[in-house]
Structure 1
Amino acid sequence: MSTPRTSARRDGRARRALVGTLLAGLALGVTSIPPTPASAALVEARPIFTPLAGALTTSSAVDRNAALPDASISEKKKGKKKRRHGRLRIGISTGFSIMYSGDKRLDKDLARSENFGADQLRLDISWAIIEHEQGVYDWSLTDRLLSRTKAKGINVLGVIGFAPDWSHNPDQSVKPELFAKFVDLAAKRYANKVAAWEIWNEPNQDRSWKAKPNPRAYARMFEQASAKIQKRDPKAKILMGSLAPAVDDPDGIEISPITFLKGVYRAKIDRSSYDVISVHPFSYPALPSGDEDWNTFNRLPDIYRVVKRNGDGKKPFWLTEYGARTGSSSRSVNYKRHTKLMIDAYRETKKLPFVQALFFYSLRDASPNLKEPEDNFGLLKFNGRPKPAYKAVRRELIRNP
């Protein structure tokens, strides 16, 4: 994603790019947004994802393996296993751009989602947009979106987070008490419109967390926020994790999902504060079924083993983002590969008995600029026309439910 960076963050990203020519953090987000008073906040608040791309070089493979302690390459999954959590649920993580769609376009997008086969949408509830100025709240964008999804009977997973600038500590970490106050207001307002809550987005990276990621700090913040949701919306599911593909960076600007979860458990997080573990297993250009050691999708059984060893083995996983860039940039995949990635993700997810839901990212391209890799994750083109993957996955969902 093209967002303002401090020089330190730019230097950190450059250092990571040097470790393996094709294993790089690729940022994702919305870059073309209609003018709005909240647009400045959105630039700082939008979610960031770093799918890992390409094969490792021989020299970097040793370093990357060392950065993932106690994590072995998962054996190739064979045959079908009995699902522990019922039929696999399909969702779409829409991205921020849907928030700014006109009514007509929004209705078309919601219809496209249902036609695709999704029974739930992951929508952003951005603290930075709603309370851009401390104590001044503008719920209008989120109210409109959730009212329309509620009217259509669409289940909503609300991802809440994205702190405004005024809310940070000097080291850029989140002030838990301020975030909990906002969560309390949001949970009270949307208790009958949000079926599940995902607290924060990708806290194992500094781009979303702002400060260097800290499992203990995340655990304490999460507990305070979760308590507010449980009070206001006791029937809603609460998701912990929202973990991005990452490695254990020596500078501490990102932490692998396995290491981060171990840190959360060492911090003795209250395990009654959440119902679901969430992960973003981006793998492109590799297939989810690939056996690359850096392939986050391939590492899902390893992540699950950490969860199981810490007493959470009965809790389901939700894969709340999976997708790939199309377009004409050097970091994109063509439509044929895009389609294969999406279908493979669905088929491989069905083989994982601990996974309950798979969300495809995203619904519609954020702009018509095919050269901008961050804007082309959609199942739909910017003009609303389906990409081949949309139709192919829809057929797969019907033929192989």
Structure 2
Amino acid sequence: MTHGRAAALAVLSPIVICALLSGIHPAYAAAPGDVTADGVRDPQDDASPWGIASGAEWAADYPKFNLALQTVGVRWLRSSYPWHAIQPTEGTWIWRPMDDLVANARANHIHLTAGFGYLATWASADGGTYAFPIKNIQYWRDYVSAMVARYHNDIKYWEVWNEFNGGFAVNATPQTYAELVRETYDAAKKIDPTAKIGVSVANFDVGYLDAAIKAGGADHFDYICVHPYENLAALAEGGEISFLSMAGALRQMLAANKQRTDIPLWITEIGATAPVQPDAAGDRRQAEALAKAYLLSIASGFQRVFWFEARGPSYGKETDFGVIRADWTPRPSYDALKAMIDALGQKPQYLGWLDMDKGGYGFLYRGRNEDVLAVWSPPGTEHKITFPADVGVIDLAGGDSTLRAGQGLTLTGTPLLLTKVPASLARQARDKAGKPFPWGGDYAKAEVVLSRLGAVNVDSGVKQVDLQTTLSVTAGAESWRRTDFTRPEGDGRYVQFRVDPQFVPYGTTNLEITAVVRRAAPETVAGMNIDYESLKGYRGGPNYQEIPGDEQWHELTWKVSDANFVGGWGWNFRLSALGSAGEFDVKEVRVRKSTTSQESKGAADP
């Protein structure tokens, strides 16, 4: 036992000390180079962004999938066993499964990041694993202390819970989470001052992080973790700019709360499904999503990204998230991950951007041995580019070819990695680093942004999300979109929108939202609420407005004073027809910055 380990045990309760001493695993004997308070380098101080997250359903497969991940160059795994499995009864500690997980990760040269949670059944309010309050917070302190004392040589990064703002915490509030964060931070740092404590939320819930910090979590975390699944899904409809804005929104929130703005940002879950059985189109879409998730995250300032997941699960919908199928065959997404790691190496550095053929995406990175330019086109478009010299072209399957000088290359929605980037283009990209991205327009100084809906929407700072949930209607030279109540699961009762982040940066609270609408059938009553993203999460009514009963177009306007348009679920506001008897048409939506703070509603003819 090293002096550092003895000191760590000294602050534990006698019960915890006995548990640790009775089951010390040989793999956790201190090794030369362990981090100590006198500044020995952290062996897990690894710049690699390449991570995989594993859920509970398939976590036991790590002996096989860790090897597969190590083979392609994945350096981080997010996985751990919950409190109730490690300490099933008070005073009983079962370490072997977690010991084996940690030892296997080490054997495969993979860094493990773990989480504290959920509740031990004997310590919870109702004998379950999610319901608060904890009977005695000392139980939680002992659990955190025991975990850090046992694994501090191997695990340096610990998340407090998983998606506390989601379905994994019952009877819980931001105040509950803030207390848990404080207790975890203090207990962990007593054992290992070099331990890093992360706060974590489902989706991209900046508002919940803000509330937890204000509730007492300030200055008690070392990194932030988000799970922006919906923001990734929005890329299929051109959501790159909103995705790229996430890191900035987090740093603005930190600044507003007087927290460190350079704190590391992690994405510890993000993913997209593919069909269980091989399917060319479905597999390609997942591979594209995976590539964009890593490329955009690195470009926008996220330090580490964990794709969910290595293998499975399907959740009964004939699709799953894994880069490896249930039969252990690799998916195209696995090949895409390998292709990116091979080209970009373990320390990719974002250098700048290029506007490819006036609309195509281009992101320059310093790769393994040279500059690498990632390129693709927005959905439904193609851009053709040429270069003054030969360049290398790597596709997501790992295929490597040469594009001759002057030869055209057609960009599609599938990312390509270009090597041997001409020096003049690399300089242009570097010169643009830190400047606003060009795609979608410049709305930073605009007074109003809008979208005109029709057979083809015309967007000027507002974009409809999930276009397929509405129907296109054309009459003569005009067209508009109509709610579709026949859609399954009620999807057709919502018309969702996203606003350009330049127009509504974090801190923009007073907005005026106007919809130009009419009844689909004048004799059928129709109307809507507006749901919007606020400082306290998504909010709905009571703000219902009925559309007048005629064939004219009408303007319905709402004013909100607590907006927080960061795209937590991939959208900022929506017209909700849940209370409407009939369908309605939508011709235009507008968003204006308001100087008033009174929330109101009204309707008027244009």
Structure 2 residue 234 is the aligned partner of structure 1 residue 286? yes
Relative to structure 1, the CA distance from residue 343 to residue 235 in structure 2 (aligned partners, 3 Å threshold; closer, same or farther) is same
In structure 2, the partner of 1:147 is: 103
Deviation string for 1:33-54 (max 9, x for gaps)? xxxxxxxxxxxxxxxxxxxxxx
- Unaligned ranges ≥5, structure 2: 1-44, 345-366, 368-606
- Other structure's SS at 1:286 match: helix
2:86 aligns with one of 108, 122, 130: 130
Higher strand share: 2
Residue 157 of structure 1: how far off its partner (Å): 0.4
In structure 1, the partner of 2:189 is: 230
Residue 270 of structure 1: how far off its partner (Å): 4.0
Q: Following the alignment from structure 2 to structure 1, what is the Cα–Cα distance between the partners of residues 113 and 46? A: 19
In structure 1, the partner of 2:221 is: 274
Residue 326 of structure 1: how far off its partner (Å): 2.1
Residue 97 of structure 1: how far off its partner (Å): 4.1
2:153 aligns with one of 192, 196, 204: 192
- Other structure's SS at 2:79 match: strand
**Aligned ranges for residues 314-329 of structure 1 at < 5 Å?**
314-327=262-275
Q: Following the alignment from structure 1 to structure 2, what is the Cα–Cα distance between the partners of residues 374 and 147? A: 33
C-alpha contact 1:93 1:320 (8 A) present in aligned 2? yes
C-alpha contact 2:67 2:108 (8 A) present in aligned 1? no
C-alpha contact 2:160 2:180 (8 A) present in aligned 1? no
Counterpart of 1:194, as a letter, is: I
Q: Following the alignment from structure 1 to structure 2, what is the Cα–Cα distance between the partners of residues 151 and 297? A: 35
In structure 2, the partner of 1:253 is: none
C-alpha contact 2:198 2:221 (8 A) present in aligned 1? yes
In structure 1, the partner of 2:116 is: 160
In structure 2, the partner of 1:21 is: none
Q: Following the alignment from structure 1 to structure 2, what is the Cα–Cα distance between the partners of residues 124 and 297? A: 30
Structure 2 residue 233 is the aligned partner of structure 1 residue 302? no
Structure 2 residue 190 is the aligned partner of structure 1 residue 245? no
Residue 199 of structure 1: how far off its partner (Å): 1.4
Q: Following the alignment from structure 1 to structure 2, what is the Cα–Cα distance between the partners of residues 359 and 297? A: 17
Counterpart of 1:264, as a letter, is: A
Residue 320 of structure 1: how far off its partner (Å): 0.8
1:380 aligns with one of 324, 344, 349: 324
In structure 1, the partner of 2:179 is: 220
1:203 aligns with one of 145, 153, 164: 164
TM-score by length of 2: 0.45
Residue 371 of structure 1: how far off its partner (Å): 7.2
Residue 290 of structure 1: how far off its partner (Å): 3.8
Q: Following the alignment from structure 2 to structure 1, what is the Cα–Cα distance between the partners of residues 170 and 243? A: 22
Residue 297 of structure 1: how far off its partner (Å): 7.2
**Aligned ranges for residues 90-109 of structure 1 at < 5 Å?**
90-101=50-61, 106-109=62-65
Greater C-alpha Rg: 2
Counterpart of 1:291, as a letter, is: G
C-alpha contact 1:326 1:373 (8 A) present in aligned 2? no
In structure 1, the partner of 2:299 is: 351
Relative to structure 1, the CA distance from residue 371 to residue 91 in structure 2 (aligned partners, 3 Å threshold; closer, same or farther) is closer
Q: Following the alignment from structure 2 to structure 1, what is the Cα–Cα distance between the partners of residues 101 and 304? A: 22
Residue 119 of structure 1: how far off its partner (Å): 1.2
Higher helix share: 1
Residue 346 of structure 1: how far off its partner (Å): 1.3
Relative to structure 1, the CA distance from residue 391 to residue 327 in structure 2 (aligned partners, 3 Å threshold; closer, same or farther) is same
Residue 182 of structure 1: how far off its partner (Å): 0.9
Q: Following the alignment from structure 1 to structure 2, what is the Cα–Cα distance between the partners of residues 342 and 233? A: 35
Counterpart of 1:140, as a letter, is: R
C-alpha contact 2:181 2:221 (8 A) present in aligned 1? no
Relative to structure 1, the CA distance from residue 243 to residue 392 in structure 2 (aligned partners, 3 Å threshold; closer, same or farther) is same
Counterpart of 1:347, as a letter, is: L
Structure 2 residue 128 is the aligned partner of structure 1 residue 181? no
Counterpart of 1:302, as a letter, is: A
C-alpha contact 2:73 2:341 (8 A) present in aligned 1? yes
| Paired residue total | 291
Counterpart of 2:209, as a letter, is: L
Residue 235 of structure 1: how far off its partner (Å): 1.9
C-alpha contact 2:251 2:262 (8 A) present in aligned 1? no
Relative to structure 1, the CA distance from residue 135 to residue 374 in structure 2 (aligned partners, 3 Å threshold; closer, same or farther) is farther
Q: Following the alignment from structure 1 to structure 2, what is the Cα–Cα distance between the partners of residues 396 and 173? A: 43
Relative to structure 1, the CA distance from residue 131 to residue 387 in structure 2 (aligned partners, 3 Å threshold; closer, same or farther) is same
- Other structure's SS at 1:124 match: coil
In structure 2, the partner of 1:263 is: 211
Residue 108 of structure 1: how far off its partner (Å): 3.1
TM-score by length of 1: 0.66
Q: Following the alignment from structure 2 to structure 1, what is the Cα–Cα distance between the partners of residues 122 and 63? A: 35
Q: Following the alignment from structure 1 to structure 2, what is the Cα–Cα distance between the partners of residues 289 and 315? A: 31
- Other structure's SS at 1:209 match: coil
C-alpha contact 1:177 1:224 (8 A) present in aligned 2? no
Counterpart of 1:109, as a letter, is: F
- Other structure's SS at 2:229 match: coil
Counterpart of 1:111, as a letter, is: L
Deviation string for 1:334-372 (max 9, x for gaps)? 21211111111111112212x111111111124xxx672
Deviation string for 1:223-256 (max 9, x for gaps)? 111212112222222212x21117xxxxxxxxxx
In structure 1, the partner of 2:336 is: 392
Counterpart of 1:203, as a letter, is: F
- Other structure's SS at 2:284 match: helix
Q: Following the alignment from structure 1 to structure 2, what is the Cα–Cα distance between the partners of residues 211 and 349? A: 33
Q: Following the alignment from structure 1 to structure 2, what is the Cα–Cα distance between the partners of residues 89 and 144? A: 24
- Other structure's SS at 1:312 match: coil
C-alpha contact 2:297 2:305 (8 A) present in aligned 1? yes
- Unaligned ranges ≥5, structure 1: 1-84, 247-256
